[in-house]
Structure 1
Amino acid sequence: MTLRFSEICIDAHDIHALSSWWSTVLGWPAEPTDDGDIVLRAPTGADWLFLAVPDGKVVKNRIHFDFTPDDQQAEVERVLALGARRVDIGQGEQSWVVLADPEGNEFCILARG
């Protein structure tokens, strides 16, 4: 039996706002699904599917995204300007920067190389 990774499902209180935010950050198109969800079409084929949930995020993520940009500082500044915020999850002094999206989901922007 073979499994193929097809999508990442992201719970969101406001799927339209959060998917729009990530669409802007990543430059991926967002489109509604027949089920009323929102999907971001990733160029790699592993789409991001935003699913509506009634509650907000309350604890640290058990899984998160790492991104490696060409210019870490420029990318951190760009994403912060779009509405991300810096978060401290106990990482201490590291080469990566931990941020959170508008609904509080943590992600990291790594140093290149």
Structure 2
Amino acid sequence: MSLEWEQTVVSSRDPASLGRWWQEALGWVVVNDDPAEFEIRPAPDRLPGLLFLPVPESKTAKNRLHLDFRPDDRDSEVARLLGLGAARVDVGQGEPSWVVLVDPEGNEFCVLSSWPAG
């Protein structure tokens, strides 16, 4: 038996708007622009993707699952994401080597420390 990770589903009040935000944040491509099933991927034929589906309610609690990203330059990437509309959030992380941000609908994600120079 084998499994392939196809996508992560993100519940959203406005799937197309949030999907386009993540498309810009990640530099991915839109593979389905249907407002009820908006999907982005790293490339049209590359998995996994992010699928944004509509829900009537706003997010009300901490995510049970979140994405972590490892940039070349953490501080520059955090500044870029903040410029796109992300916001810093404190989930009790203290002063670690990663930064916790939220997307425009409040979904947490982490920007980890940069890879060591090597």
* Pick aligned residue for 1:82 from 81, 84, 92: 84
Superposition pairs of residues 32-43 of structure 1, within 5 angstroms: 32=32, 36-43=36-43
Q: Secondary structure at the match of 1:62?
A: coil
Deviation of 1:8 (Å)? 0.6
Cα distance per residue 1:44-88 (max 9 Å; x no partner): 510110001101100000110000110100000000000000000
Question: Aligned equivalents of 1:31 and 1:100: distance in 2?
Answer: 24
Q: Secondary structure at the match of 1:30?
A: strand
Question: Aligned equivalents of 1:73 and 1:6: distance in 2?
Answer: 30
Q: Secondary structure at the match of 2:96?
A: coil
**Identity among equivalent pairs (%):** 48
- Runs of 4+ in structure 1 over 4 Å off: none
Question: Aligned equivalents of 1:26 and 1:110: distance in 2?
Answer: 15
Q: Which residue of 1 aligns with 2:107?
A: 105
> 5+ unaligned residues in a row in structure 2: which ranges?
none
> 5+ unaligned residues in a row in structure 1: which ranges?
none
* Pick aligned residue for 2:72 from 63, 70, 73: 70
Q: Is the 8 A contact 1:95 1:111 kept in 2?
A: yes
Q: Which residue of 2 aligns with 1:60?
A: 62
Deviation of 1:41 (Å)? 1.6
Q: Is the 8 A contact 1:42 1:48 kept in 2?
A: no
Question: Aligned equivalents of 1:30 and 1:14: distance in 2?
Answer: 15
Q: TM-score under structure 1 normalisation?
A: 0.93
- Cα RMSD (Å) of the superposition? 1.5
Q: Is the 8 A contact 1:31 1:39 kept in 2?
A: yes
